[in-house]
Structure 1
Amino acid sequence: MDRQTISALAHGDHPIAAPLSDASVARLLERALPRAAGRLLDLGCGSGEWLLRALDGRPGLRADGVDLAAASLESARAAAERDGTGDRLTLHHQDATKFTASHAYDLVLSVGAAHAFGGLLPTLRAARGHLAPGGSVLVGDGFWEREPDRATLDAGFAADEFADLATTVDRVVADGWLPVYGHVSTLEEWDDYEWSWTGTLTRWALDHPDDPGHDDALKAANAHREAWLRGYRGTLGFVTLVLRRAADA
């Protein structure tokens, strides 16, 4: 079973692929989209959950999503048709780092996809290339809540992969951005996300004992749970920022 399929199954009960509650997602979108109109771009949109929630209740908003996972895009397309927003959503099956458009966007969103761009600052540089004057970026990425110990590093992280929260924000500001809102995921949000990820995948495997992917799904769920509980729980944080360009940047 490939990683995209495992991820799609694991996010079945928590479609926002980040440690954020529904209330936090709604609040971030309200701050990032103060008007119910404009254009939105999600770089690395997955199943399009951010796009679907943004389009709901904003009839003047049009959105584009970009991702390499064809199955996830099909899921997003089907959900938009069910919601009645399919005519305002355009999905692009391609590498988000190579996406181009003929128009700029009022909001560029990329949450939990910084790895595709090589880190947070490269993600912001990519977003800036799509941003209309006065527009905003909504970006989410990890940071170290505390110095990573050996258990965290053994879970698959590098010590220099992230910085602490203050340093992370300092780097963003030094790059010409100003935070106009932010949210630090709570331990409760993290636990709900991780229990959902591992639990949903485990349940799928138990419910499909004869599926060829049964063993791979259980192995992935067990490995993820071990890395979380014995590795990065309480060490890896997640911050989501609403940013605008500094006037002189």
Structure 2
Amino acid sequence: MTYEQTFAAGESVVATGESRVPEVTPGFWLIKLMAVTMGETAADYLAVNLGIGLVPTTILMTLVLAAVLRWQFAQGRYVPAIYWAAVVLISVVGTLVTDNLTDSFGVPLIDSTIVFTLLLGGTFAAWFASERSLSIHEVYTARREGFYWLAILFTFALGTASGDLVAEQFAMGYMASGILFGLIIASLASGYYALKLDGLWAFWLCYIFTRPLGASFGDLLSQPREYGGLGLGTTITSLGFLTVIALTVATMTVSRRRR
């Protein structure tokens, strides 16, 4: 088979394949916001409340994430329960990676923010160089899905670092930080709908900023009152958001099966 025939066959597979990731809908953003909020509180619950410790929790959750991602890749298509389980876990791991750099290795949050920005940019560059496209609507192959999940991991780590930088190091507090990131996301949405902002970059920028938005409100709900929170605790907060995620995913699964 010639190169041209091989290339054409590959393009045919891509064109007729089934997407491995979900469509971007209001339900998508709802679960994404719940997942990132839960990622913040669940990481604290495992490492602190259960007394497992930061490093052991990171190792444990990374192994669980690897197993779920392997399961996700084996599907070759979008399965709501498996996909969103991977998102929740990658949210937890992304949080733990940044927390380890800050608490275990003393890396300043500004440095973590810069490093993860560069890593995310490098991932996009490699993705485009390999596939000539960064479209989230064309994730039909395992290689494209690999770039997709790597980008998501760095968005969570970057979102955690930038969110903690603004809320803690810049001393804005959880409520003010949440409002700030919410306004940024609103401006991006307005730019997309009213000013024709490129949909690809609008998606990824919103994906990044929903992480610190969710983390800020997660901390607001779970942290003790003396630290600026409402004192609900990580257990109640995590379970609450997990329930919303489970119900929404169940609804998506039923709807998908009916279609």
Larger relative strand fraction = 1
Task: Give the TM-score normalised by structure 1.
Answer: 0.25
Larger Rg computed on CA atoms: 2
